[in-house]
Structure 1
C-alpha cells in the first residue's frame, strides 16, 4: 500500500518519525510538498486505498479547513490523517463527515495510525468509529451544583424513549474528592492514576472496569480519592479517555472542576456544547460573566448556554431579579433552576436522582430544559 506524507522536508525529525512508522507498517512512503502537489502525484491518482498523512509542522502547515476540503476530494482515493495538537470541534466533525478522514494528536499519533492502518486493511477504516456528542458542564466556581445538573440531565435523557437504544455516560473530572458517587449511591471505580503516565494502556476493557453502571441506564465515571496533581495531567490522558468514551457512548457529559487547568481549554474547544453553571447571587453571576467573556471568544453562541442554579422565585412564580441576571450575562441563553433544598436533600440522603423520584417537581422541570438543549446538540451532531 502507498502512504503519502504531505510535508516538503523528509529530513525533519517529525517527518522521519512518521516515515519510520509507516515503513514498519509496510507502506511505500512518498513525501509531497503540499496538498495541491499531491493531486498532481501520479501514484496518488492510481491508488484507491492509500493513506495520506498531513502533519501540522512548520510555517506552511495546512490549516484544518484546508485539510477538510482536501478530504472531501479524497473520497474513493485514500484516507486522510491530520496530525495536530488541536482542532476545533466544528472542523473535526466536518472531517469525520467526509468518511475518509481522522484527526490524531502528536502524542497519540503512533498508536492511532497503527489502528487506522489496521482498519484500512480490514476495509472499514471509518465506519467502526462512533463519534459521541460531548457536552461539558463548566462551573463558574465551587458549590454551584454543576455535578447535580450533569447527573440529573443524564438520568432524564436516559428515561426518554428516543434515548433507550443509545448510551449515555457522565465523567466527573474532580479527581480529588468526587461527590457524584455519594449522590447516587454508586461505587467509585475510575482510577485516573492507572492511566496517568501510560494513556496507551486505556482500552475498551479498562473503560468497562472504570464504569459504574446505574439503574437508570447511565454509566458514571466516578473517581477514587487521589492526590494527583491536576496541573501536571498530560492532555493526552484526557484525550485518550474521551476518545475511548466517544467510541462506546452516544452522549458524554463532562463534569469539569471549578479551577481552570491547561487541558480544560482543549476539552472546551472540542465539545459540541458548553453549559456554564453558576449560583443565584451577585458574586457567582459576576464570576460567570467573566468566564463567559473568555468562552465567547472560542465558542459559537449556539453551542453555549448558562445555567443559574438555586434561584429564588417570587409569589407569581417568576425568577426574582431575572432581568438583572440576563443583563449581566450579556443576553446569553440562560436556564434558571429553582432552589428546592428539601427535595434535593431527600434525593442525596436516599442516594436517588431527583429525576427518579419526581420528574414533575419544579426543579426537575428546570433541569429538563437544560437536558432538552443538550438533546438538541446531539440531534444536530
Structure 2
C-alpha cells in the first residue's frame, strides 16, 4: 500500500471527517432567515474560525449589493437567498461588478435545483448549499475553500491532560499513543509539550539530541524537513517529538507557539497525541480547545473532580460543535485512600467515565523504570485493555489485525508528494 493511501484510509476510518481550521481571512454573511443567521453565528464562533475576521448580518443578496457598492469585498461572501432563481442571478451579476479579484462566494438557497446549481458554478460561485443547514455544514464548506483536495484527510489531534498534577496523564498519553500505533496499526506521533520536565523520552527509553524545543524556539526555520529530523522513532508506526527536559531557558511561550508544529503534523500522519502538561497558560488553553479530541485524566478524589469540572465547563463553552472531552479515572483503588465512586464522579460532571484504570504500582513502576509501555510488561492485562479502549474511542476505530508491513513513513515524503 502506498503511504499516502495508508494515511487516507486511516484518517477516514472513524466515520467523522475532520474539518480543517480556516486561515486568516475576512468573511461577511448576508442572511434572510433567522435559522440560517443562527447557524452562521454558531459557525463563525467555532474554534476553527479563530483566525477569521467575520461579520453576520441580515438582508440577503440585496444587502450585499448595497454594502459593496463603494466598499472593498472580503475574502469570502456568504449569501442566503429566498428569492427565485432569476432574482438571485440578477443580484449576483451586480455583485460581480463590485467583487475584488479572488473573492469567493457561497450561496445558501432553499430550493434543490440542479440547473440553478450548474448555472451558479458556471458563473464562478464557489458552492451552493441547500437549507436547512447546521453549523458544521457551513464550516465544512468554508474549510474546503482553502484546503487542497489532496490534503483534506487531515490527521486527528488528541490532547491528553491531567485534571491534577500526578494523576498519570503523561503515562496514559504515551500508552494510548502506543495502542493507536500498535493495536490499531495507525501511524502516530506523540508530542511532549512539557518542555522543561517532559517524561516521554524516559518512558520510551529514548534520548534524542533534538526535539520540540528546536521547533518552537526557531519557528522561522521550521518546515517538514526539519520536523522530520526532530522526530525519534519508537516503533514501526510510532514516532516521538520529545521534550529536552532541561532548564537552560524558561518556557514563556506565546499563545500560537505550537500552531505551526501541529499543522505540519496533522498534514502528515493520521494521529497526533499531545501530552499536555498540568499548567495553565494561553498556549495550553489553545492546544486543548483546538484539538479534535480531548482526554481528561483524573484521580478519584475531590481536587480532581473540581478541576475536571472546570475543564469540561470550558470545553462546553468553547467547543460547542465538538464531542465532549473523554473522562478517564486513573489510579483507582489506591490502598487506604477514600475515593469518589466513578458513578458519582460522572453524575457531578455530567459526562460518562470512559474507563477506570486500577492502581497497580508494580506494573506501572516496572514499566517506568525500564522505559517500557504497559503492553510490553503485561500484554494481556486489563490495564492494557483499558488503553486500547481509550485508543479506539478517540480514533473511532476498532482493533486492527497486525500486518507485516509498517504504514509509517517519514513526514517529509508525504508533504513533498502533496506539494509536487
CA distance in 1, matches of 2:397, 2:72: 40
Flag structure 1 segments of 5+ consecutive residues without an equivalent.
8-14, 16-29, 55-66, 81-88, 103-124
* Post-superposition offset of 1:346: 1.4
* Alignment partner, residue 242 of structure 1: 262
Q: How many residues align?
A: 300
- Of 126, 133, 158, the match for 2:156: 133
- Of 260, 273, 278, the match for 1:258: 278
Tell me the SS of whatever aligns to 2:257.
Answer: helix
Q: Could you tell me whether the CA contact under 8 Å between 1:6 and 1:52 is conserved in 2?
A: no
* Post-superposition offset of 1:341: 0.9
Where do 4+ consecutive residues of structure 1 move more than 6 Å?
A: 4-7, 67-70, 73-76
* Alignment partner, residue 307 of structure 1: 328
* Alignment partner, residue 140 of structure 2: 94
Which has the higher relative contact order, 1 or 2, with Cα contacts under 8 A spaced 6 or more apart? 2
CA distance in 2, matches of 1:369, 1:275: 13
CA distance in 2, matches of 1:376, 1:222: 26
Tell me the SS of whatever aligns to 1:255.
Answer: strand
Change (3 A) 1:256 1:210: same
Q: Could you tell me whether the CA contact under 8 Å between 2:195 and 2:245 is conserved in 1?
A: yes
Please tell me whether residue 154 in structure 1 is matched to residue 196 in structure 2.
no
| 1:63-120: CA deviation from partner (whole Å, max 9, x where unpaired) | xxxx7969xx89784779xxxxxxxx95896247x64334xxxxxxxxxxxxxxxxxx
Tell me the SS of whatever aligns to 2:206.
Answer: coil
- TM-score, normalising length from structure 2? 0.61
Change (3 A) 1:197 1:354: closer
Change (3 A) 1:285 1:236: closer
Change (3 A) 1:236 1:92: farther
CA distance in 1, matches of 2:210, 2:169: 19
CA distance in 2, matches of 1:320, 1:5: 49
* Post-superposition offset of 1:149: 1.0
* Alignment partner, residue 45 of structure 2: none
Residues 1-381 of structure 1 correspond to what in structure 2 (within 5 A)?
A: 31-32=72-73, 35=77, 39-40=92-93, 41-42=95-96, 51-52=102-103, 77=124, 94-95=140-141, 99-102=144-147, 125-128=148-151, 130-160=153-183, 163-164=184-185, 166-196=186-216, 198-215=218-235, 217-227=237-247, 228-230=249-251, 232-300=252-320, 302-312=323-333, 321-376=341-396
CA distance in 2, matches of 1:203, 1:92: 31
Q: Could you tell me whether the CA contact under 8 Å between 2:315 and 2:324 is conserved in 1?
A: no
CA distance in 2, matches of 1:157, 1:79: 37
Q: Could you tell me whether the CA contact under 8 Å between 1:200 and 1:240 is conserved in 2?
A: no
Tell me the SS of whatever aligns to 1:182.
Answer: helix
Q: Which moved more, 1:249-258 or 1:189-198?
A: 189-198
CA distance in 1, matches of 2:376, 2:97: 60
Tell me the SS of whatever aligns to 1:35.
Answer: strand
* Post-superposition offset of 1:180: 1.1
Change (3 A) 1:185 1:284: same
Flag structure 2 segments of 5+ consecutive residues without an equivalent.
1-24, 29-52, 54-70, 80-90, 110-116, 128-134, 400-420
Tell me how large the CA RMSD over aligned residues is.
3.9
Tell me the SS of whatever aligns to 2:315.
Answer: helix
* Post-superposition offset of 1:298: 2.1
Q: Could you tell me whether the CA contact under 8 Å between 1:305 and 1:334 is conserved in 2?
A: yes
Q: Could you tell me whether the CA contact under 8 Å between 1:189 and 1:223 is conserved in 2?
A: no
Q: Could you tell me whether the CA contact under 8 Å between 1:51 and 1:78 is conserved in 2?
A: no
CA distance in 1, matches of 2:286, 2:198: 22
- TM-score, normalising length from structure 1? 0.66
CA distance in 2, matches of 1:202, 1:78: 36
CA distance in 1, matches of 2:179, 2:377: 11
